[in-house]
Amino acid sequence: MLEIHGPQFSHCDGLSRRAFLSAGAAGFCGLTLADLLRAESLGGIGSSTKAVINIHLDGGPPQMDMIDLKPDAPREIRGEFKPIRSKIPGLLISELLPKLASIADKFAFIRSLVGASSQHDAFQCQSGFDRKDLDSIGGRPAMGAILSKLKGSPSDPAPCFVDLMQGRPLVRNSARPGFLGPAYGPFRPDISKMFERPLEEGMKGELKALGGNHATSMALNKSLSAERMKTRVGLLEELDSLKRSADSGGQMDALDRFTRQAVEILTSGKFADALDLEKEDPAVVARYTLPGAKNRPLGTNEGAGSTRKFLLARRLVEAGVRCVSLSISDFDTHSSNYPRMRHTLPIVDHGLHALVTDLDERGMLDDVAIVAWGEFGRTPKVNSKNGGRDHWPKVGMALLAGGGMKTGQVIGATDRYAGEAITRPVHYQEVFATLYHCLGIDLAATTIADSSGRPHYLLDRTEPVRELV
C-alpha cells in the first residue's frame, strides 16, 4: 500500500512538501515517474491499443522437448515426451502442450532462433542486443524503454512499460532503459506475493532495498483526498532550479515531466485496478487458472497459480500499457529436466492458451503482439550425470502470436538432433523488427538519441521476419 505522509514543513492545507515530493521522487511502488510517459502529447499510434506482451521463459527452454521433437533420434536426445498432432498439418509438438496444439493456427513456431549468447542474458530477449552493447554510454535500451520514448501510452493514465519479471538477477534486471536514462525505465511492481514462488537471493536483496516503494497495490492515504492531491501538483514549481540544472542523471527531469500523470494514476484508479486481480470477473480468473494443479513450486519453478500472470498482462494492456514483460521460471534444467518440464510446461501451455483465446474473443489479438522465448536453447543430449540439458546457444525457439502477424506456420528447421539451424535461421533482432513492425514503427526512419545527442537506429537488423508480415 502506498502511503503519502510527512510531518515536516506543512503547507496551509496540512500537506507537507516532503509528503508530496515523496509521492513523486521516491516513485509509486518503485515506479520511476518518467515511466508514466507522455500519452497526451504524442501521436504515432494515437489512441490505438497496439501493444507487446513479452514472455521470457527464464533459463532457456528446451526446444526438443517443446516444439521441435525428434522422435527418431536416440533416446538420450529424443527424451521422454511423446509428440502429438497440432492444428497445423504436419506439426508435432510435445504432449505437455495439448492446449497450444489445439490453437496452433494462432501461433508462428520459430524453430531456428539464432544469435544467442551462452549466458543467462535476458536482456537479449528485451532488446535483441547483448547487454554489453554500447556499455560505455549506458547500454542499449530495452524495447519497452524505446516505446516509452517514442510513443507513450495510448490512454491516460498508464505507464508505457511494465516489468513483471522475476527470477535470477540477469532476468529481473533485464528491462533496462540504457542510454535513455532513468526517465524511461519500467514500472516494476512487486508481484512476489501474488504468485507463489521461492525468490532467488538476488531478488530478495533487491526487494528488501526497495522496501515500501516496491508494492503491488496503490492507493491514496486515507487522510488525502483525490482533489487535494491534484491541487498539490503546483508544488513542483517551487523546486530549486539550480538542482534541476545540476541533475545529470535525469531524475529531476523525470519528476518534472511526469508527476501530473503519476498523480492521475493514483486519483483515477484505472491503472491501479489493473494490478488487482480481485477486480476481474471470477469466471475469467478461473479460466486463467490451471485446474487440478498444486500451487507448490518445484525448486525455483513457478507455482501453478503463475498462469494468472498472463491475465495480469492482459489487464495491463487493456489499461493502456504498451509493453508488458513477464517471466516463467525455471527452464535452467542442468538437472532433472523431465520432472521440471512436467511441472513447468503445463503452466506455459495453459497460460498461453488462455491469453490468446481471451484476446481473440475480446477483439484485441490483432493489436497485441505476443512473443514467448528464452535466452538460448538446451543441449540436444541429456547429460548422464543429472538427467539435465545444458546451455545451448547454437539454436533456440520462439512462439509468436497476434499483432496482425501471419500465424499458423512453422519457420525454420534444425538438424536431426535439434542442435543447429539448417534452414531459415532467424535472429533475435529479426523478431524484434517484426514486433516493431506490428506497432507501426518504421525502423529505417526511426532513431533515438543518446545523452550526447548522437542518434541510434533501434536495431542493426531492420527487416522483419518476412514470413510473418
Q: Which CATH number goes with the domain that contains 314?
A: 3.40.720
The confidence score (pLDDT) of residue 304 equals 78
Whole-angstrom distance, CA of residue 448 vs CA of residue 456: 5
The confidence score (pLDDT) of residue 330 equals 83
Grouping H, G, I as helix, E, B as strand and the rest as coil, residue 257 is helix
- Quick check: is 178 in a domain? yes
The confidence score (pLDDT) of residue 193 equals 75
Q: Which three cell numbers stand for residue 385?
A: 550425470
- Quick check: is 23 in a domain? no
- Quick check: is 11 in a domain? no
Grouping H, G, I as helix, E, B as strand and the rest as coil, residue 289 is coil
Grouping H, G, I as helix, E, B as strand and the rest as coil, residue 240 is coil
Q: Is the CB of residue 51 less than 8 Å from the CB of residue 67?
A: no
- Quick check: is 408 in a domain? yes
Amino acid at 169: P
- Quick check: is 224 in a domain? no
- Burial call 405-440: b when 16+ CB within 10 Å, e when fewer: bebbbbbbebeeebbebeeebbbbbbbbbbbbbbbe
End-to-end CA distance of the chain: 44
Size of the chain in residues: 469
H helices of 215-329, in order, are 226-231, 241-246, 251-268, 270-274, 282-288, 308-318
- Provide the β-strand partners of residue 10: 16
Whole-angstrom distance, CA of residue 424 vs CA of residue 272: 43
Whole-angstrom distance, CA of residue 383 vs CA of residue 387: 5
Nearest partner of 101 among 89, 85, 117, judged by Cα: 85
Q: Which three cell numbers stand for residue 288?
A: 486463467
H helices of 5-141, in order, are 17-25, 75-78, 98-102, 124-127
Grouping H, G, I as helix, E, B as strand and the rest as coil, residue 360 is helix
Between helix 143-150 and helix 428-438 the angle, nearest 10°, is 30
Element at 397 (helix H, strand E)? strand 396-402
| Range of the structural domain that residue 299 is part of | 31-218+269-468
Between helix 308-318 and helix 337-361 the angle, nearest 10°, is 30
Residue matched to cell numbers 503547507: 11
Q: Is the CB of residue 376 less than 8 Å from the CB of residue 396?
A: yes
- Quick check: is 252 in a domain? no
Whole-angstrom distance, CA of residue 377 vs CA of residue 68: 11
Domain count, the chain: 1
Q: Which three cell numbers stand for residue 466?
A: 518476412
Cβ atoms < 10 Å from Cβ of 164: 25
Whole-angstrom distance, CA of residue 107 vs CA of residue 398: 10
- Quick check: is 457 in a domain? yes
Dihedral sign, CA of 92, 95, 100, 103?
Answer: positive
In whole angstroms, what separates CA 329 from the centre of its chain?
13
Between helix 251-268 and helix 17-25 the angle, nearest 10°, is 100
- Provide the β-strand partners of residue 391: 378
Per-residue pLDDT of the chain (469 residues), as tens digits, is 333 333 333 333 333 333 333 333 333 333 333 333 333 333 344 446 799 999 999 999 999 999 999 999 999 899 999 999 999 999 999 999 999 999 999 999 999 999 998 888 789 999 999 989 999 999 999 999 999 999 765 555 678 899 998 777 777 788 899 999 988 888 888 787 787 665 666 666 666 665 554 455 555 555 555 555 555 544 444 444 444 554 555 554 544 444 555 555 556 677 888 988 999 999 999 999 998 766 666 666 788 789 999 999 999 999 989 999 999 988 999 999 999 999 999 999 999 999 999 999 999 999 999 999 999 999 999 998 899 999 999 999 999 999 999 999 999 999 999 999 999 999 999 999 999 999 999 999 999 999 999 999 999 999 999 999 9
H helices of 14-142, in order, are 17-25, 75-78, 98-102, 124-127
- Quick check: is 274 in a domain? yes
Give the list of residues 6+ apart from residue 384 with CB closer than 8 angstroms, or none: 76
Element at 323 (helix H, strand E)? strand 323-328
Whole-angstrom distance, CA of residue 313 vs CA of residue 318: 9
The confidence score (pLDDT) of residue 284 equals 97
Nearest partner of 85 among 72, 73, 67, 60, judged by Cα: 67
- Provide the β-strand partners of residue 199: none
